[in-house]
């Protein structure tokens, strides 16, 4: 499978289906951001603390794998010089639409989060990377690329899936609300789903997902050279696991 092309087409379909992560920011959110009261999420429900992104005005900011017209336009309205980089052309069109509607300046680039070669070393002051690296197979290369394109003392904020969610039988989870352990971490739809289930997902054009270990998600940032200085957890906002454990993580890291 050409994973990059497949997941691009899958996310383009999700835009057509109006998935929640493809619905752009509304005019009220943009107006609030212009007043300094910006609000974005890296994970499903918890807003990013303002002290994680101090002094946005004039900062070169990369929204990495962050198309959909949500984070990018809000941060541009708050005064940042925003580049949105995403695999899905339809997601980038959502950002373009908001920028035109609100008179905002955004730079839009299509590409693979594992390959930021279009950007030179130390191009950005800030990287905003909401939950999205669950759609690629190698997360450590993402951290290395982030480190390369960030300036010294630059900030990386990232949303991550707790890999715990990938150990359960998805059919039992979705259909019966039962937690039945079936898979192992690191997880891959391509390698571990039963063939019939994988075929159904491909026919439905659902994105292929990967459950990365915490060693690669958090330890991978440290190995790339980052110093982690912020952390919080979040839930999915209604999933069966929410009453037992938070299933999403946000980290704030500095390039020293």
What is residue 174's predicted lDDT score, i.e. its pLDDT? 86
Is the sign of the CA dihedral 139, 96, 53, 44 positive or negative?
negative
DSSP β-ladder status, 150-161 and 227-234:
unpaired
Please write the tens of the pLDDT for every residue from 179-209.
999 999 999 999 999 999 999 999 999 999 9
What is residue 26's predicted lDDT score, i.e. its pLDDT? 98
Mean pLDDT to the nearest integer, 33-60:
98
Question: Which of 122 and 177 is assigned the larger pLDDT?
Answer: 122
pLDDT(18) > 90:
yes
Mean pLDDT to the nearest integer, 48-72:
98
SS (H, E, C) 30-98: HHHHHCCCCCCECCCCCECCHHHCCCCCCCEEEEECCCCCCHHHHHHHCCCEEEEEECCHHHHHHHHHH
Closest to 72 in 3D by CA, of 21, 117, 113, 35: 21
pLDDT(171) > 90:
no
CA distance 134 to 242: 19
Please write the tens of the pLDDT for every residue from 94-114.
999 999 999 999 999 999 999
Whether pTM > 0.75 for this model: the answer is yes
Instruction: Count the Cβ atoms, other than its own, within 10 Å of residue 182.
Output: 15
CA distance 90 to 148: 27
Mean pLDDT to the nearest integer, 147-169:
98
Please write the tens of the pLDDT for every residue from 207-247.
999 999 999 999 999 999 999 999 999 999 999 999 999 99
Please write the tens of the pLDDT for every residue from 56-66.
999 999 999 99
């Amino acid at each position: 499978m050409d994973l990059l092309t497949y997941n691009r087409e899958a996310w383009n379909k999700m835009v057509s289906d109006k998935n929640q992560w493809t619905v752009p920011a509304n005019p009220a959110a943009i107006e609030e951001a212009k007043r300094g009261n910006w609000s974005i999420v890296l994970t499903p429900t918890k807003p990013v603390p303002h002290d994680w992104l101090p002094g946005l005005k004039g900062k070169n900011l990369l929204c990495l794998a962050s198309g959909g017209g949500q984070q990018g336009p809000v941060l541009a309205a708050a005064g940042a010089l925003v580049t949105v980089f995403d695999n899905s052309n339809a997601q980038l069109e959502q950002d373009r639409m908001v920028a035109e509607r609100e008179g905002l300046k955004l730079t839009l680039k299509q590409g693979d989060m594992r390959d930021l070669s279009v950007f030179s070393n130390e191009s950005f002051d800030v990287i905003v990377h909401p939950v999205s690296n669950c759609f690629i197979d190698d997360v450590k290369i993402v951290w290395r690329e982030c480190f390369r394109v960030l300036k010294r003392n630059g900030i990386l904020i990232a949303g991550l899936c707790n890999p715990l969610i990938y150990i359960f039988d998805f059919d039992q989870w979705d259909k019966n609300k039962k937690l039945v352990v079936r898979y192992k971490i690191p997880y891959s739809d391509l390698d571990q789903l039963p063939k019939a289930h994988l075929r159904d997902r491909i026919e439905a054009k659902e994105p292929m997902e990967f459950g990365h270990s915490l060693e690669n998600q958090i330890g991978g940032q440290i190995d790339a050279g980052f110093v982690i200085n912020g952390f919080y957890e979040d839930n999915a906002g209604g999933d069966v696991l929410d009453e037992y454990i938070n299933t999403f993580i946000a980290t704030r890291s500095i390039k020293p």
